[in-house]
């Protein structure tokens, strides 16, 4: 009886040992899987951390950042090309633009802007306050506190217009008129330079080629001087009008030797020539008369 019980105990022990061995094998497999998972997670996290640190330290440029930089470069080039086209179209070149935010909220943005530039030889600086208020799906912009400075001492005819623009805060009117005014001043400058080069013994520009006065004085007629006064008038509403007049300076002794009617009517005769021939042809007619055909 005891032998039978001993054999049964031995068999149970063997069964238990076999079960323990299987469980140990399963535990070993699970431990191996856990180590593999931990290694994968660690490697993945380590890779992400290395990429992040490299990006922050500038050691590595991710493909995404290169794409963003390329896009920004394209946008800057497009803006530069648009600015170049705008400059060629309206003749106004901007040198600088500064912006200061005075008020910012979800419904309103108020900025103080200062813009400087030039249109041909005319240098300007404009300061104004720009307010943008959101209204539904859109927004409304208004300009206020407009102040303009022109860097030119010979702008008496432009000062009244500038005062009117500052009062009305009509900035678009200023830029439109500035271009037209500048073009008419350039026309005058080119004409004066042309005649000074063509008739150097008669034509002089004491105030420079951009002044309003061209002087005609023949060496053999001392004291007898003719002045071409070419001004560019600008009304308060932006209308630009060139005005050309002939002024005479004749000594009293010369007036006694010649009839007064031809000399006194020179200005009126010149205005008739202007209406018939136009500015350049009318001025050349006067210059040729003064030069006695010396430089023709």
Work out the widest C-alpha separation in the chain, in whole angstroms: 174
Q: H-helix or E-strand containing 143?
A: strand 138-150
The number of CA neighbours under 13 Å toward the Cβ of 55 is 11
What is the reported pLDDT for 28? 66
Taking the alpha carbons of 81, 82, 85, 86 in that order, is the dihedral positive or negative? negative
Q: Per DSSP, what are the bridge partners of residue 126?
A: 115, 148
Predicted local distance difference test score (pLDDT) of residue 251: 57
> Which of 92, 112, 94 has the alpha carbon at shortest distance from 176?
92
Paired residues of 99 in beta bridges: 113
Alpha helices in 58-170 (DSSP H): 63-90, 156-168
> Where in the chain are the domains?
82-182, 188-291
Q: Is the model's pLDDT at 57 over the cut of 60?
A: no
Q: State pTM to two decimals.
A: 0.65
Structure tokens at 71: 């896009």
Q: What is the mean pLDDT of the chain?
A: 77
Q: How far apart are CA 273 and CA 78, in angstroms?
A: 50
Here the tokens at position 67 are: 């794409």
User: What is the tens place of the pLDDT at every residue in 71-104?
Assistant: 777 766 666 666 666 666 667 888 888 989 888 8
Spatial contact of 285 and 277, defined as CB atoms under 8 Å apart: yes
Residue 295: band (very low, low, confident or very high) from pLDDT cuts 50, 70, 90: very low
- Per-residue confidence band for 153, with pLDDT thresholds at 50, 70 and 90: low
User: In this predicted structure, which of 87-96, 134-143, 161-170 has the lowest mean pLDDT?
Assistant: 87-96
Cβ partners under 8 Å of residue 189, min gap 6? 209, 210
Coil, helix or strand for 221?
Answer: coil
């Amino acid at each position: 009886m005891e032998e039978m019980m001993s054999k049964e105990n031995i068999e149970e022990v063997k069964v238990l040992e076999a079960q323990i061995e299987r469980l140990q094998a399963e535990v070993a497999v699970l431990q191996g899987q856990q180590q593999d998972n931990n290694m994968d997670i660690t490697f993945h996290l380590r890779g992400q951390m290395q990429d992040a640190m490299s990006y922050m330290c500038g050691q590595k440029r991710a493909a995404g950042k290169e794409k963003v930089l390329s896009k920004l470069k394209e946008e800057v080039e497009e803006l530069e090309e648009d600015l170049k086209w705008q400059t060629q179209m309206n003749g106004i070149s901007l040198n600088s633009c500064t912006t200061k935010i005075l008020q910012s909220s979800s419904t309103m943005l108020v900025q103080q802007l200062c813009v400087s530039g030039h249109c041909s030889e005319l240098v300007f600086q404009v300061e104004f306050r720009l307010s943008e208020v959101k209204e539904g799906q859109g927004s409304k912009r208004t300009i206020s506190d407009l102040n303009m400075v022109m860097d030119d001492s010979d702008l008496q005819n432009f000062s009244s217009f500038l005062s009117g623009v500052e009062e009305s805060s009509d900035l678009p009117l200023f830029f439109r008129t500035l271009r037209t005014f500048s073009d008419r001043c350039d026309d005058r400058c080119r004409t004066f330079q042309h005649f000074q080069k063509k008739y150097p013994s008669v034509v002089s520009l004491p105030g420079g080629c951009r002044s309003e006065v061209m002087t005609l004085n023949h060496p053999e007629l001392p004291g007898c001087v003719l002045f071409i006064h070419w001004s560019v008038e600008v009304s308060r509403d932006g209308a630009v009008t060139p005005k050309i007049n002939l002024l005479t300076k004749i000594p009293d002794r010369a007036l006694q030797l010649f009839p007064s009617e031809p000399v006194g009517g020179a200005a009126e005769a010149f205005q008739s020539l202007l209406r018939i021939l136009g500015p350049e042809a009318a001025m050349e007619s006067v210059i040729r008369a003064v030069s006695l055909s010396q430089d023709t």
